């Protein structure tokens, strides 16, 4: 069992410290991740510092005009490099404040919620900066020296990232029972949002995983096997930074003029499947974006159908086949907006994973 870290302890005056500590503890008790609690603690700590400088000593003294002043301060703020906060960063800070004041009101610590009607900044919709072509992805796949044990392992990891679009922490968390070669699926346990999901994985990736598992992994376990699928040369699971560095080296070694790490394959998988005719809703289901309203009708999507779409539209295959259009593809005016929303979320994830 992973030991959960306690929520950050704010070093503010009692009028702020006690309600903030209670809120952070409540988040963890409701199974929010320590990372989420830490992010909200940081945003709320900045707000409390700003409010304290203006003579406010407790949440009960905060009014809507005060929050509007803080929103303007966020807009005018400049970072050390002179750049303003992005609309997405401003939105994150204000979302934490809205959540905290909503909770304070529900706990009857406030008579009314001053943050209830605060409008969050609109976030620009962006397309990804760096995406691999299918040819470039294959060049990277061919970088590891598969005449060596670690080269086989590295190829298997790269193929898994490319085929499934899973997050780096999801790759690290795979165990030997996560892969179902017969059905061509992989079970991701406790992904982002602490949700499990089953997704397709291609035959080419499965072939490399099987080769690694049978020929390489037994020698890496060093007599102590906890079931983790991908192991370092020391026989332990990868840390996030170590995995990032390994994948980045492989991409750089391909000399394709593009840089990135694990998340580059997540972006690439989504883009290439879209270009080959996959419905954006199926891709969102694969990526685990179940929080998006556009995926609600697909939250219980048939793994058999998802596997079929993956086989038709993902370019990495053992044998090439004609990619047909998905019968379930929806030709509606929202498709382009949904794709932009998808890439905006992926872009945020990429920044979160940057060490």
Tens-place pLDDT, residues 296-331: 433 344 666 777 788 888 888 765 444 444 444 444
Average pLDDT over residues 108-137: 83
Q: Helices 262-275 & 134-141, crossing angle to 10 degrees? A: 140
In a domain, 298, yes or no: yes
Least confident of 22-36, 210-224, 297-311: 297-311
pLDDT at 277: 84
Q: How many residues does the chain have?
A: 355
Q: Which residue has the tokens 């406010």?
A: 56
pLDDT of residue 296: 40
| pLDDT tens for each residue of 60-91 | 999 999 999 999 999 999 988 888 988 888 99
The answer on 141 and 39 residing in a single domain is no
**Could you tell me the CATH number of the domain that includes residue 311?**
1.10.443.10
Tell me the mean pLDDT in the region 202-218.
Answer: 96
Instruction: Kindly state whether residue 43 falls inside one of the protein's structural domains.
Output: yes
Are both 319 and 253 inside the same structural domain? yes
Both 314 and 198 in one domain: the answer is yes
Is residue 181 pLDDT above 50, yes or no? yes
Q: What is the enclosing helix (H) or strand (E) of 67?
A: helix 64-76
Which of the residue ranges 290-299, 323-332, 336-345 has the most confident prediction, judged by mean pLDDT? 336-345
Q: Report the helix count and the strand count for the chain, using DSSP H and E.
A: 14, 3
Note whether 183 and 284 are same-domain residues: yes
What percentage of the chain's residues is helix, strand, coil (to nearest 5)?
55, 5, 40
Q: For residue 38, what are its two tokens?
A: 């830490």
Beta bridge partners of 200: 185
345 domain-assigned: yes
Residues 44 and 138 occupy one common structural domain:
no
| Cβ(269)–Cβ(164) below 8 Å | yes
Q: Output the six-digit token pair for 186.
A: 């992989």
Number of domains in the chain: 2
Residues labelled as active-site residues = 167, 192, 263, 266, 289, 298
Chain centroid, CA 347 distance in Å: 9
Together in a domain, 94 and 203: no
Same domain flag for 235 and 295: yes
Same domain, 217 and 342: yes
**CA-wise closest residue to 271 among 124, 134, 125:** 134
Cα 269 to the center of its chain, rounded Å:
14
Side-chain-side CA neighbours of 326 within 13 Å: the count stands at 25
> Do 170 and 249 lie in a common domain?
yes
Strands ordered across the beta sheet of 179-180: 179-180, 185-191, 195-200
CATH number of 66's domain: 1.10.150
Retrieve residue 112's tokens.
Answer: 């009314």
Alpha-carbon separation of residue 64 from 12, 68, 74, 97, 113 (angstroms): 22, 6, 15, 12, 9
Q: Is residue 9 part of a domain?
A: no
More confident residue, 308 or 140: 140
The reply to whether 259 falls in a domain is yes
Q: Is residue 118 in some structural domain? A: no
Both ends of the chain: CA-CA distance in Å? Answer: 25
Domain membership flag for residue 123: no
Cα(226)–Cα(174) distance, rounded to whole angstroms? 11
Assigned domain for 62 exists: yes
Burial annotation 228-252 (CB, 10 A radius, 16+ → b, else e): bbbbbeebebbeeeebbebbbebbe
Return the pLDDT at 309: 81
323: containing domain? 134-353
């Amino acid at each position: 069992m992973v030991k959960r870290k306690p929520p950050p302890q704010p070093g503010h005056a009692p009028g702020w410290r006690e309600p903030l500590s209670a809120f952070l503890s409540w988040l963890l008790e409701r199974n929010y991740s320590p990372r989420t609690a830490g992010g909200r603690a940081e945003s709320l700590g900045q707000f409390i510092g700003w409010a304290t400088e203006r003579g406010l000593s407790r949440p009960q003294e905060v009014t809507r005009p005060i929050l509007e002043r803080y929103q303007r301060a966020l807009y005018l703020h400049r970072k050390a490099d002179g750049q303003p906060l992005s609309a997405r960063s401003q939105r994150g800070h204000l979302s934490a404040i809205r959540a905290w004041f909503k909770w304070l009101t529900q706990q009857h610590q406030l008579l009314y919620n001053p943050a209830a009607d605060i409008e969050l900044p609109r976030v620009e919709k962006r397309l990804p900066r760096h995406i691999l072509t299918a040819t470039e992805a294959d060049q990277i796949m061919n970088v590891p020296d598969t005449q060596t044990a670690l080269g086989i392992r590295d190829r298997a990891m790269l193929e898994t990232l490319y085929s499934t679009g899973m997050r780096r922490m999801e790759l690290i968390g795979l165990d030997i029972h996560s892969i179902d070669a017969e059905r061509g699926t992989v079970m991701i346990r406790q992904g982002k949002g602490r949700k499990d999901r089953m997704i397709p994985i291609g035959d080419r990736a499965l072939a490399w995983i099987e080769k690694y598992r049978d020929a390489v992994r037994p020698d890496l376990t060093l007599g102590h096997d906890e079931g983790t699928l991908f192991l370092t040369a020391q026989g332990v699971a990868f840390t996030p930074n170590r995995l990032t560095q390994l994948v980045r080296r492989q991409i750089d070694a391909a000399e394709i003029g593009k840089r990135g790490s694990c998340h580059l394959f997540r972006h690439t998988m989504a883009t290439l499947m879209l270009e080959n005719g996959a419905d954006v809703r199926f891709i969102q289901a694969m990526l685990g974006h179940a929080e998006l309203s556009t995926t609600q009708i697909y939250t219980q999507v048939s793994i058999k159908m998802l596997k079929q779409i993956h086989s038709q539209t993902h370019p990495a295959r053992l044998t090439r086949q004609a990619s047909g259009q998905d019968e379930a593809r929806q030709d509606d005016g929202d498709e382009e907006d949904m794709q932009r929303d998808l890439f905006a979320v992926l872009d945020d994830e990429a920044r979160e994973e940057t060490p």
